[in-house]
Chains A and B, each alone.
Chain A
């Protein structure tokens, strides 16, 4: 079996948006999106001691190799980075096109995603990629197993769990509650650089520059602003009676 895990290299700490480019500020240190670490862990768990191949796939600047190397250090077998100046500024539509093209070359039996990206909090890329690949997709996987040509998923919902199965090849986005990602071991870290790390350009994927980056995007960021201040907020200073004041307030609003 072959499992592809899509991972994102996100800015470390608090994400900032560059007001000039209206894009995420990627100048500082980056790290593997922690939601994607759950997907890597799940792929490695499914692999176990078998000969299943785990390929980590990312779209991003060269620096994104840092996050791919972490996936390799955790135990993934190979890394593929799609990196091209023309891909900068890709929105969901363009990103899904490029990732789908990279995944089509890999032909994995199972594609795993984390539930969301921690920088811009997007949580739909997996659906868009599955749509482009024409594959079934299951999100919020709490438990995952593969049995022959079928993937079985216990899916977390607001009102309980769905039990879903889908034929392979399929796309699954895992919940961050599915597992606790391992730390890369020192041996894993030392061994990571010996594992294949391929960097692919748009030309390698056969994607036209006009279909990537801002040119290939369908959304445009027009403006950025702070959320409006709440006009009806009320601040209670603690003069020893704060608890009572909060209780009175909640009672007045009929909340307790």
Chain B
């Protein structure tokens, strides 16, 4: 048993933490308030190699492992969730399907552009009437004259509508009881993208509704085998859960750090509130639970890196850290008192950014379903 991170993993943590604190923190509040996509930060992340961290070097990525990737997402979320989800959705949901299921030609066409951060990738699974029940997908793709002709709509899609969005991989019904994944490049006629959706949190991340009207793409844009779409997106979600779980740990850590700092400075009844046991116990609980959550996330990442079965660990990590981040942002805001309710205090943004971690990439309930299935129920 070895709990030590490698020298590279430690240096990645330090580097991303340093970057997040000096480049993201100063603009996070403004980006959130103006609901402005962080183009400059994405460009800098790309330069550091963070837009393709776990993508192999031969396709233009940094060739990092899943543990390193989880650490990077955790450290970004500690400062700002909008930036973190932009990287996580681009990597785990947008780029991974092409890496895992694409043929050599598709990989050569897309991965260098995506891993270098020149283009942003999205994944279109959820539909207005197909959320947790993703198998109920209605979007259709019909093969006509060597082209897939797509009709239907997707909702809550991250990264699809930015100026640098390159493509979206969508799930579509391609036959009776048959779901497949197809890559649709931005700019394809018939692929329409809504105005940005207005959200409770993640204001600086790009979230859209997509609609497809007789949208035709080449037959070669099918990812992997026809009819494998369901298994493929299950695999993508398993991996994606590790990154969202890492967001839960990072968000909780960020909220805890804010609470600790505030409690040491805020004086009431003649002394810093951190000297009251009521506050100390809350901070002690937070620190303990965050550590537990982090171990679950790193374990899931480690299992994936070692080619072991990791779906259960990923679901447990996602469920636990979703609930954990909820408790921690709540306690942290409570410690901040009235100031925490004010937008000028970062905790208010972290509080708003939290709830989606219990919904996106599988709700708490879906995680429990996955876990129960692994228990043989």
Residue positions of A touching B, CB distance < 8 A: 31, 65-66, 69-70, 73, 183-187, 189-190, 192-193
Contact = CB atoms under 8 A, between A and B. Distances in A.
Interface stretch (B6-14, B186-194, B226-234, B254-262): B6-14
Interface string B39-81: 0000000011110010001000011100000000000000000
Closest CB pairs A-B (n = 7): A186-B49, A186-B62, A185-B49, A189-B11, A185-B48, A187-B49, A187-B62
A184 B47 contact: no
Nearest to A70: B11
Which of B14, B18, B53, B57 has the largest count of A CB atoms less than 10 A from its CB? B14
A189 B18 contact: no
A69 B7 CA distance: 8
A32 to B, nearest CB: 9
Contacts of A31: 14
Nearest to B9: A189
A11 to B, nearest CB: 14
A185 B57 CA distance: 13
A70 B15 CA distance: 9
21 contacts: A31-B14, A66-B7, A66-B11, A70-B14, A73-B11, A183-B15, A183-B18, A183-B19, A183-B48, A184-B11, A185-B47, A185-B48, A185-B62, A186-B12, A186-B50, A186-B53, A186-B62, A187-B49, A189-B15, A190-B63, A190-B64
Nearest to B54: A186
Contacts of A193: 7-8
Contacts of A183: 15, 18-19, 48
Contacts of A73: 11, 15
Contacts, number: 47
Interface string B164-202: 000000000000000000000000000000000000000
A185 B8 CA distance: 11
A189 B47 contact: no
What's the dominant secondary structure at chain B's contact region?
A: helix
B148 to A, nearest CB: 35
Contacts of A70: 11, 14
Specify which of A73, A183, A186, A192 lies most central, judged by the most chain B CB atoms within 10 Å of its CB: A186
B307 to A, nearest CB: 20
Contacts of A66: 7, 10-11
Contact of B64 (A65, A69, A184, A186): A186
Contacts of A185: 47-49, 62
Contacts of B11: 66, 69-70, 73, 184, 189, 192
B8 A190 contact: yes
Nearest to A74: B15
Contacts of A190: 8, 62-64
A70 B49 CA distance: 16
A73 to B, nearest CB: 6
Contacts of B47: 185
Interface in B79-109: none
Nearest to A32: B14
Interface string B1-27: 000000110111011001100000000
B334 to A, nearest CB: 28
A203 B320 CA distance: 54
Contacts of A189: 8, 11-12, 15, 62
Contacts of B10: 66
Contacts of B64: 186, 190
Contacts of B57: 187
A75 B7 CA distance: 16
Contacts of B50: 186
A230 B8 CA distance: 47
B8 A192 contact: yes
A31 B50 CA distance: 22
Which one of B10, B48, B57, B63 has the greatest number of beta carbons of chain A within 10 Å?
B48
B48 A186 contact: yes
Given A187-B63, A189-B12, 20 more contacts: A31-B14, A70-B14, A73-B11, A183-B18, A183-B19, A184-B11, A185-B47, A185-B48, A185-B49, A186-B12, A186-B48, A186-B50, A186-B53, A187-B49, A189-B11, A189-B62, A190-B8, A190-B62, A190-B64, A192-B7
Contacts of B8: 189-190, 192-193
A47 B152 CA distance: 55
B315 to A, nearest CB: 28
B346 to A, nearest CB: 21
A195 B48 CA distance: 19
Nearest to B44: A183
A184 B10 CA distance: 13
Contacts of B49: 185-187
A184 to B, nearest CB: 5
Most chain B Cβ neighbours within 10 Å, of A70, A183, A184:
A183
B17 to A, nearest CB: 11
Contacts of B14: 31, 70
